[in-house]
A and B are shown apart, each in its own frame.
Chain A
């Protein structure tokens, strides 16, 4: 049953299980590749294009996250063509999106490729109309600035915020809200082209949308565009301190499904809840109770109110 195919990646011959993607083949040998939209638990959408590689015989570069390895394939992940495309794609992203909270690995790749996102000109400031632009219509630019997706943060509920100035449109949240996990379909990509954006129907607030506040979109966001309210408030207060945080794996206290939780704690308080993507029960996904229903263990009335409690309380109405 376990058929394999032979491919050559960067001069290294290897046999991988049939059906493996090029990315899986690369990662099986510690030949890591940059990814943004790809996540093991979601269907590859191959839209970010930072994982493109050169396959001999192919006219264009191919996305390693979704291209299945074929017998005899010869792949280059570090050719000049590959480096050039990845560099420009990262520059496109960083010139249009606030990537300051993107993971260190991504920043490392950008350094490695010598990205200079400023070469398209100074970044344009925030705008308020991105949710109301019409397909096929935009104001002609002057060329003096580089357009960005910068816009006001959406804070419309107690549990999480949406800062689409940080959105790289990786579709992960849409997939997690949709058929890959939650099947609630509260959000989708609306509009077109540079004006495409993640949106509820008619840009209605989350509380008026189909959202069930499972937080699975937040759980998969790679850039901090979606952020738990607790983290958002602590960051705003300058108190978010990942060096002082620890992560403890446990099991949700609610129903009998047995979802594993990762409790991120700081100063003896839970500040964030995630779930391990590699766990067979959750695949990293939770419900509103598992994700947010922890506050009963740390609302202690007169027992103790610490500075962190005061900040966390700001999320409450």
Chain B
């Protein structure tokens, strides 16, 4: 979303209830974001037409008017072919394109390379369906594109997102009520983390660390210089660890030993560190490897603070429970650490820290705790105390004169890195179960009557071809490792496609299989496209 100026979903949930066409692209929100899906279904019940683009006919896709079962990692070819259709049929919003965007000619030249025949070959989707979706999207009064990790967990994640943004620019489906681009966030504060500057190149409020003026504000308040160069993102850090250039690591609330792709490599890298500190509420697999473990309170119920949702809504979290034992809120641990390092700043309250942040981050300026309390949260940007918060972003693109037009960013399709071959003929993709969450350290804690555990899901056709029975434990191999898991037959999968959920690394570590190939811009690994093989272990072995 950076091309549009700020990293956040452009629309509010309420708007999807009042839109006309929804492209749900690479998202099983029904399972992964159930309450967002409530809003989406209100839209569907209000008459919105829903297209679901997903290799799997997931629970979400089953709600669609039309499901498009594309090949994993072919999204750009589909988006570019749609753009070509839209341009050729004269359905582009030329008035908007001329006034509010730049770079259209180069974009048009690029997408011209994606005729329907080529797109069909790459995606597997017949041309008439691509045309239908393109026309429906372009001719809708209001339209939204919603996506999640099916778009971003690829080696070319940023290009995938750019391809979708370009569709919105081409049709003017952004910056207006009911039209927008909606990346739904996977974790309760991944939006807030980015907003607060937990990115290699950003300071809070999307201010650039390499911009002297913006960095200068922070230096002035802190009374000391800050590094003027962007840092490493996660994948670069692991590369640096492997290269011996990164020797010490302070991990707060992450479990990379299990969550990173190609976990064998990851653990090797962590083991090679001189010094590892883990601050967490659990003794995770990563924490087990640490030199020092700092027990943290669960911020959402044992501490005060704020988190930011996928609709840019900043909301308060509050302390309901005393943390157990010596666990402390993250802010307090960091403050104590600063003191121990001889640079103490006392032990400020969450509100005091927030007020400092507000003084530095323009989009958060108007969000006092009192207002957050009174208004049930506020959506950024909220620049002053009288501002109601922003329901949607980029309304400026509809100004008579657009000061800072949005650039088209033409992108090319590139196949997933992990190629299919005779040895690894099946595509494995990953995702969430309704009752699971990430590596399962939280969601594993309650008794879910619907938990099915880790399975390798295969299509009925592949199940039959390979002679697999439900619950039969099989060996699953990729170019990086091998694991075992029981079989589940899923009619929502097409032949050649398999699926595993990622919540059960203690039972089955699927990241033994996944590939470390990562997106150079975002650092996201390609969890969604692994080439695997499935072998029977022995007749009659059942779990």
Contacts and interface: CB of A to CB of B under 8 A. Distances in A.
Interface of A: 157-159, 179, 181-183, 206-207, 211-214, 246, 248-260, 263, 265, 268-270, 278-283, 285-290, 292-300, 303-304, 315-317
Interface string B440-459: 01111111111000000000
Contact of A251 (B45, B188, B434, B435): B188
Contact of A255 (B188, B313, B315, B321): B188
Contacts of A290: 35
18 contacts: A158-B447, A158-B448, A159-B447, A159-B448, A206-B449, A207-B450, A211-B450, A249-B318, A250-B317, A255-B185, A260-B376, A280-B376, A281-B313, A285-B35, A289-B437, A293-B446, A295-B445, A296-B446
Given A207-B450, A253-B442, 11 more contacts: A159-B449, A249-B318, A250-B317, A254-B187, A255-B187, A257-B309, A263-B321, A289-B435, A292-B448, A293-B437, A293-B442
Contacts of A296: 281-282, 298, 441-442, 444-446
Interface in B14-52: 14, 32-36, 38, 41, 45
Interface stretch (B79-87, B95-103, B196-204, B299-307): B299-307
Contacts of B435: 213, 288-289, 293
A267 B313 CA distance: 32
Contact of B301 (A246, A257, A292, A294): A294
A interface: dominant SS: loop
A181 B187 contact: no
B298 A268 contact: no
Determine which residue in B377, B448, B449 has the highest number of CB atoms from chain A within 10 A of its CB, and name it.
B449
Nearest to A207: B449
A186 to B, nearest CB: 11
Contacts of B443: 254, 289, 293
A212 B434 contact: yes
* Best-buried of A157, A254, A279, A296 by chain B (most CB within 10 Å): A254
A295 B41 CA distance: 29
Interface in B236-272: none
Interface of B: 13-14, 32-36, 38, 41, 45, 184-191, 281-282, 298-302, 307-311, 313, 315-322, 324-325, 376-377, 434-435, 437, 441-450
Contacts of B298: 253, 296-297
Given A251-B300, A251-B307, A315 B447 contact: yes
Given A258-B313, A297-B321, A288 B188 contact: no
B186 A256 contact: yes
Looking at chain B's contact residues, the main secondary structure is: loop
B56 to A, nearest CB: 18
Nearest to A249: B318
A268 B321 contact: yes
Contacts of B309: 251, 256-258, 281
A268 B320 CA distance: 8
A102 B158 CA distance: 54
A258 B449 contact: no
Given A250-B317, A268-B322, A294-B446, A256 B35 contact: no
Nearest to A260: B315
B434 A257 contact: no
B442 A288 contact: no
A231 to B, nearest CB: 15
A215 to B, nearest CB: 11
A179 B188 contact: no
Nearest to A253: B300
A250 B450 contact: no
Nearest to A181: B38
A213 B436 CA distance: 13
A118 B276 CA distance: 71
A282 B324 contact: no
A256 B446 contact: no
B199 to A, nearest CB: 16
Nearest to B183: A256
B320 A250 contact: yes
A68 to B, nearest CB: 20
Which 3 A/B pairs are nearest by Cβ-Cβ distance?
A258-B309, A256-B185, A296-B445
B251 to A, nearest CB: 18
Contact of B376 (A212, A263, A279, A303): A279
B437 A288 contact: no
A304 B325 CA distance: 9
A281 B35 contact: yes
Nearest to A316: B447
Q: Indicate the member of B299, B301, B437 with the most A CB atoms within 10 Å.
A: B301
A182 B63 CA distance: 13
B317 A317 contact: no
Nearest to B32: A255
B446 A303 contact: no
Nearest to A229: B447
A258 B307 contact: yes
A211 B450 CA distance: 9
Contact of B445 (A268, A282, A293): A293
A263 B301 contact: yes
Contact of B281 (A259, A280, A297): A297
Nearest to B185: A256
B310 A256 contact: yes
Nearest to B9: A256
B500 to A, nearest CB: 19
Which of B35, B184, B437, B447 has the largest count of A CB atoms less than 10 A from its CB?
B35
Contacts of A289: 435, 437, 443
Given A182-B38, A250-B300, A295-B446, A255 B437 contact: yes
A287 B449 contact: no
A182 B37 CA distance: 9
A123 B34 CA distance: 43
A250 B316 contact: yes
B34 A213 contact: no
